[in-house]
Copies of this chain bind each other. A is one copy, B any other.
């Protein structure tokens, strides 16, 4: 199968009536027409085999995840998904793989009304690069730079499950100490994360700053703090809320002990939850946004004027830590 046949077969669908996409797949460029008063939010993520996912990862989940991580960036800006381009390097044309990949990709795209409008296919080591486009009313995008002292800090959903699954896939002997259902649930978080698009939309005009947690809670919180010129105090007892916490083995001899779960939660990575701040006066509005989007959120701390992050336990005592976030070149 040639390049053009491949695009036609797996990645071209009839254009759907949507005012924002004036021209889709098939010409030199796609044409987007944001509505008047709207800005276009743009983000790009590249997933490399062996780095972002294991060789042999289920292609349907991979297709889902490749788009999910980009949708998560739109969510973090409070942007409504419109369209995306897909650039794909494949070692060979594998029909079963392409069917699974395009199914997972396009199902999630349909869920969010996000149309595949163009891209590129080529031969090469497996690499998936998606660039996504959303729209947000001018001036209403959620940025990293808006956090102010005494703002509350919130995180959506749960953290650490993806990292737990990653570690379990790499150390199956230690992972045997955890129930199979727990591991399956954590693995689903790793391989098919749920982008918090509805929450991001509901937080427009409510959150003072936001981003999505992709490199670990503390590292990503640092981005908000630096961009906003502030510091933070985080209650670590609240953040231990991942799937596996309820199935924690008693034995501290297990690799997956309490300390390890702490690490997964605070510096795990690949969570794709929203981390955001809002003034204390907006607590009811945050609760309403959480309810409107059917997305649980947890208040985990407070922005402070003094730079840096201070961790406390449930009793308000300082917690010493050395959690590093994920860096692709560290």
Contact = CB atoms under 8 A, between A and B. Distances in A.
B28 A73 contact: yes
Interface size class of A (residues with CB under 8 A): 35 or more
Nearest to A222: B4
Given A42-B131, A46-B124, 18 more contacts: A3-B328, A4-B327, A27-B145, A27-B211, A28-B77, A28-B212, A29-B41, A29-B43, A32-B42, A36-B36, A44-B118, A45-B87, A46-B89, A46-B129, A48-B124, A121-B329, A124-B125, A127-B127
B43 A118 contact: yes
A87 to B, nearest CB: 4
**Copies of the polypeptide in the assembly:** 2
B4 A118 contact: no
B6 A74 contact: no
A43 B30 contact: yes
Contact of A27 (B4, B30, B36, B143): B143
A36 B124 CA distance: 40
A219 B191 CA distance: 39
A20 to B, nearest CB: 10
Contacts of A171: none
